Each structure stands twice: as C-alpha cells, then as structure tokens.
Amino acid sequence: MIKEEKKALISFLVIYTFSALVLIAIIAMLYYNRSIVEIEDQCSIQMRNASLMSEKELMQAEMNHVSFKFVPPKGNLRIGLFDKNRKALFSNLKDNNILFSKKAYKNNKHQYHINQLEKPVLGVSYIVVETDESQKQRVKLLTLIYSVIVAAVIFILLIGYLLSKILLKPIKDRMKKLNHFIRDSSHELNTPVSALMMSTSVLRNPKKINPRALNHISVSAKLISQIYNTLSFVAFNDIDERYDENFDLKELVEQSVRFFDEIVKSKGKTIKCSLESTPVYLDKSTMQKVINNLLSNALKYSFAKTQIEVILKDYTLCVINEGEGINKEDKKMIFKRFERKSKSEGGFGIGLDIVQSVCNEYNIKIKVESIPNQKTTFFLILPKP
C-alpha cells in the first residue's frame, strides 16, 4: 500500500470511527439514563413495600400485645426502626446518619426511604429502609455499556477497514490500468519514433533518396497520427463539439482504407473493400475515428499475410479479419476501457471503448461475431434516415 493510500485509509477510518462513536455514545447515554431511572423506581417500590410490611408487623404485634421480633429482610434491603428522638431501636443499616427530614434520598453508596408513622407503634416513629441495589445495578449497567462500546469499536474498525478496502479497490485497479496505459503509450510511441529517427538519418544524404526510408517515414507518421487521435479523443471527448453534417459514409471509409494502406502493406497484409454509397448525417471526424479504430483493431489481431475485408451495404459496416478470434467471455470485456484481448499486441485498450461510446451517442448498434482461430467480424448497424 502506497503512502497516499495509507493516508486515505487512515483518514477514512478516523472520520468513520469518530462519527460512529459519537452516535453510539449518544445512544448509550440515553439508554443509561433511562435504565437508571427504571432501576431507581424499582428499588423505591421495593423499599416502600418493605416499609409497609414492617409497619404492618409492628401494628399486629401491638394489637396482639406481643413483643416485636425484628427480622432483617432478605436481599439487599436493610431496615432501621427509630423512636421519636430518632434513636435506633432495631437496625441493620450500614449508615445510621439518616436525613429524617426527607422522605427519600440517595448518596454515593445507598438509596433511602423514610416512613414517618402518624402515631408511634411500640415506640417506633420512623421506619428507614436502605439499599445499595441501585448502585450495584449502576455498576453492572456501566460495565455492560463499556463492554458493548469496546466491542462496537472493534466491529466498527473492522467494518471500516473492509469498506475502505472495497472502496479503494476500484481506484487501485484504475491506477494500475493507468500505469499500464502510460507504459503502453511509451511503447506504442517508441516504435514509430525510432523508425522516424532511423529514416531521417538515412535521408541526410541529399544525393541518395531511399524510397524505403520514405515509406518508413510515411508509415511512422500515420501511426503517430493514429495514436494522437486516440489519445486526444480520450482526453477531450467531453469538451469537443460535434458538427453533424450530411456526407457519404462510403467516401469516409475509403479515406480510412487509404490511410491504413501503407501500414497494412508494411505488415504483409491486404485490405479488400466492397462499399456502396451510404448517405448519413453524423460528425465526420468522430465517425472516422470509429472506422480507424476498427481497422486498427483488425490489423493488430489478424494472422500474418491475411486479408482484411471491409463491407458497407444496406447501412451496415462490416470489418472482417482472419485471426485467433474472440471467445464468449472476452466479448463482454473488449469494449471496456484499458481492456485488451492480448497483452502481446500493441495498443492501449481504448479503441473499442471509443467505438462503443460513439455508437451509443449516435444510436448505432454494434455486434461482434467470432469463430475461434478463423475470423472475427464487427458489425456497425446505422439507423436509416
């Protein structure tokens, strides 16, 4: 992972985790406050019931004229019985410093309920109930919340990492393809440029004109022109204006064939044409790029010393070449940008992407038929006027 990817990954994880933690913290705080209120209300109910039960037992002992036996309640409840002078008569409270002026209160350790009797019963004027259950429940609740938060943080980091990998993958793939594209561009330009340099060195002798060198210069110049046209379409397609006009597609195809004639012959191949007049209303420059890319593609992937056939009939343009062909799986990929059927052949993997984008723009249907190791045919079916 390169430095920029690490920086982007860390930034994403920090923002994603922080925002998720803020949301979790708000939810946890609301849940904690609500749970504490429920716990304290439940403890208050238990303490009131214990106080009423003790008052009932005191009244029964007084009515039956028997001595009262103090039995501490089970669980986390503790009871203290105090006289009118607030002196403890019976008590198992942990803290006897009671605020008798209040009916209920709590401190850091305990929660209290104070029941002041209307009339003393067996000398008891106050019944105080104490519990630390709410504090224990508070600790359990905080432990649960902190555990959930820690687990949530781990889960969020894991999900964030996986999401970032998924989000970065298309970018990494794109960068990889761009790097290949730059390398292939250098390779594609190197061949014609080297041929030009060698040919111009031969022509430095003005007394001897070498026809072969002139042919190399012409072919190399055309290759560079084709490369430039391809790259410029990719770079400026979004801002280039279209100038649709009426013209005969047959003449445009003938121009492209003448353009490629020297290149085809230099590779030991030939082009055969069967063209009929086809009036269309399109952008001539853009359409010529489509034809040139189809011819260039046919030239690259045809066997040596074979014939490329171009047919224009009934508003259908066919470009046929004899070669290794295209299998069904590759048919889905060849029109994607930077995808190439064979890495051994030249090109950028954008020619057929240009063809498809132009065809989509002008509502031209494109089909591919291929017989492995025999021939491949590209069909452009133009809308009839």
What's the first-to-final CA gap in the chain, in angstroms?
Answer: 54
- Using a 10 angstrom Cβ sphere, with 0-12 exposed, 13-18 middle and 19 or more buried, the burial of residue 148 is middle
The Cα 248–Cα 115 span in angstroms is 106
Tally of CB atoms within 10 A around 137: 18
Residue 121 pairs with which residues in a beta bridge? 124
* Domain end (from 115, 137, 159): 137
* pLDDT tens per residue across span 330-350: 777 777 765 655 544 544 456
For residue 118, being part of any structural domain is answered with: yes
pLDDT value of position 141: 86
Q: Which residue has the higher pLDDT, 63 or 234?
A: 63
In the prediction, which pLDDT does 337 show?
A: 64
Strand partners, 309: 272, 320
The answer to whether residue 145 sits within a structural domain is no
What is the overall mean pLDDT for the chain?
79
**Domain total of the chain:** 2
Exposure string of 166-203, with b = 16+ CB inside 10 Å and e = fewer, is eebeeeeeeeebeeebeebeeebeeebeebbeebeeee
pLDDT of residue 239: 44
Residue 279 lies in a domain: yes
Q: Where are the beta strands (DSSP E) in the chain?
A: 77-82, 88-91, 104-106, 111-121, 124-131, 244-248, 270-275, 279-283, 307-313, 316-322, 365-371, 375-381
Question: Would the pTM count as exceeding 0.75?
Answer: no
> Quick one: which of 76, 47, 50 has its CA closest to 139?
76
**Higher confidence at residue 231 or residue 116?**
116
Residue 156 forms part of a structural domain: no
153 token code pair: 């943080």
> Which of the residue ranges 108-117, 164-173, 196-205, 361-370 would you say has the lowest mean pLDDT?
196-205
- Is the model's pLDDT at 123 over the cut of 70? yes
From the number of C-beta atoms within 10 Å of its C-beta (0-12, 13-18, 19+), residue 364 rates as buried
Domain of residue 67 covers: 3-137
Do residues 218 and 262 touch, judged by C-beta distance below 8 A?
yes
Compute CA distances 216 → 209, 210, 359, whole Å. Answer: 13, 10, 33
Domain shared by 248 and 133, yes or no: no
With a pLDDT cut of 90, the percent of the chain lying above it is: 14
178 within a domain of the structure (yes/no): no
The order of strands in the sheet holding 307-313 is 270-275, 307-313, 316-322, 375-381, 365-371
Co-location of 256 and 376 in the same domain = yes
Domain boundary (122, 137, 152) is at 137
Last residue of a domain, one of 87, 109, 137: 137
Residue 172 CA: distances (Å) to CA of 50, 268, 338: 69, 40, 14
In a domain, 344, yes or no: yes
365 pLDDT tier (thresholds 50, 70, 90): very high
Instruction: State how far the Cα of 175 lies from the Cα of 197, in Å rounded to an integer.
Output: 32
* CATH code (residue 360): 3.30.565.10
pLDDT of residue 381: 93
Residue 325 lies in a domain: yes
In a domain, residue 31? The reply is yes
Residue type, 35: S
Do residues 247 and 133 both lie within one domain? no
What's the confidence (pLDDT) of residue 275? 93
Query: Is the model more confident about 48 or about 201?
Result: 48
Same domain for 250 and 374, yes or no, is yes
On whether both 130 and 251 belong to a single domain, the answer is no
Predicted confidence band of residue 251 (pLDDT cuts 50, 70, 90):
very high
Torsion of the alpha carbons at 161, 165, 166 and 171, rounded to the nearest 10: 140
Compute the CA torsion angle 275, 279, 285, 289 (nearest 10 deg). -40
